Amino acid sequence: MINLKYKLILILSLIFFFTGCFDYKELDDLSIVTAVAIDKVESGYEISYSIANAKKAQVSSKEGESQTTVFSGVGPTLSEAMREIDLKNPRSTYLGHVSVIVMSSDIAKEGVFKVVDLFMRDPESRKKFFFLITRDQKAKDVVKVLSPLEAFPSQNIVINLQNSSTNQSISTNVGYSQFIRSVLRPGVDPVLPSIIISGDSEEGSNMANLENSEPKTYIELSNLGIFKEDKLVGFAKREESRGINIINGNAKNVIVTTKCDGNNFANANITNIRVNRNYKIDKNQPSIDIDVTTDGSLQEINCDYDLLQPSDLEKITKKFEDSLHDMLQSAISTAQNKYKSDIFGFGLYYYRYHPDYFKHVQSVWDDDVFPYIKVNIDISINLETKGALNETIQKEEDVRDEKTN
């Protein structure tokens, strides 16, 4: 009994000596990829890795060195292009920390699903990255642009994307899983944010871009790319992009500008946006009512309105409502008539709640049904006027003039 007890203790003790990770790798032996760029080239595909340089990161802030290195590979297939990078890189590449994948518009027009499939099969990829597309520029150049405010280009892209989505509602964050759902689910097509380089792309990758108080080259989030299934078919305009995000419930803040009298303008910050869709079907003819209620605060007004007067407040509110209505109507018209792409997921509703009807029209939904759906839009803005906004500058000047006289 005592011998058995000692044997068990010995066995349990040995367990601690044999534990470990069979695939363990030292951090210094890895090249941690933070961003991936994919371009179409004459011989096939070019893939570029933006790699965080761990050693430089410790001293770069003092010496002004770049904390990233870009390696590129070219091949007839995406996977061969990736293998080409491994021949140039002295360390093992690790894709577990990729935060953005930037694709050229040529790749997006060809079809994004091959890119999705490539990373789905990679065991190291965490699939927690955002997709973006370029507009007539190389994706490789985008991930090479250095910013004086962020350590890595990938960080700069992600922060710009989040700010643009939150503060401007021009872009929207589209991750790996969300894009796959939009492609695979019936009755809905995806959108992706686009990104552009403002300035000279070569200067953007030079250290001089970090040394200027006003960088000559920087990245900028642009309008939404519209897809049919996994293929890019075109780009929405800026106001249309805002309208798309509002209808899809992805807008938090929207600046709406309207003419008030003559050539004068006013703008308001629209917040707390609530969208309600009411789907109908009558004699196999679908129609949709979209009701939008929001709060709004005046940001700037250069018009001869006295906002203490209910009639003037009602007038300016109606003008903002009309402008917002036009924004949404333009977004719907572009999707229905120009691209015939159901980026709003109208078909998904009928697929879920009217399956027999959708099954009957699914094969012709994009071309013969979706473009002809009547969409009624109703806008209601609760416009707030506080403090100095209650009276315009023009009215205050009139009061001062009267006192002087």
Could you report the per-residue pLDDT of 283-300, keeping only the tens digit for each? Answer: 889 999 999 999 999 888
pLDDT of residue 387: 44
Average pLDDT in the chain: 84
- Distance, CA of 121 to CA of 102 (rounded, Å): 19
Closest CA relative to residue 222, chosen from 206, 237, 207, 201: 237
Q: What is the mean pLDDT of residues 193-217?
A: 72
Residue with tokens 């930037």: 102
Instruction: Please check whether the domain covering 239-405 is classified as CATH 3.90.280.10.
Output: no
Q: What is the mean pLDDT of residues 317-337?
A: 96
pLDDT tens track for 27-61: 566 778 999 999 999 999 999 999 887 655 444 44
DSSP 143: T
Kindly give, in sequence order, each residue whose CB lies less than 8 Å from that of residue 162, ignoring residues fewer than 6 positions away.
173
Closest CA relative to residue 386, chosen from 268, 303, 251, 273: 268
Closest CA relative to residue 345, chosen from 109, 185, 227: 185
Kindly give, in sequence order, each residue whose CB lies less than 8 Å from that of residue 352, ignoring residues fewer than 6 positions away.
none
Higher-confidence residue: 288 or 65? 288
Closest CA relative to residue 173, chosen from 154, 192, 189: 192
Amino acid at 153: P
213, pLDDT greater than 80? no
Weakest-pLDDT range from 56-60, 66-70, 116-120 = 56-60
Q: What is the mean pLDDT of residues 359-374?
A: 95
Domain ranges of the chain: 26-235, 239-405
In what side-by-side order are the strands of the sheet with 285-301?
254-261, 264-282, 285-301, 374-384
Phi, psi of 23 (to 5 degrees): -110, 25
Higher-confidence residue: 204 or 282? 282
Structure tokens at 397: 């000047």
- Distance, CA of 371 to CA of 82 (rounded, Å): 41
The number of C-alpha atoms within 13 Å of 223 and in the hemisphere containing its C-beta is 16
pLDDT of residue 126: 78
Provide the CA 94 distance to its chain's centre, in angstroms: 25
Closest CA relative to residue 137, chosen from 220, 209, 215: 220
Burial class (CB in 10 A: 0-12, 13-18, 19+), 186: middle
Weakest-pLDDT range from 9-23, 103-117, 283-297 = 9-23
Confidence of residue 306 (pLDDT cuts 50, 70, 90): confident
CB 82 within 8 A of CB 71: no
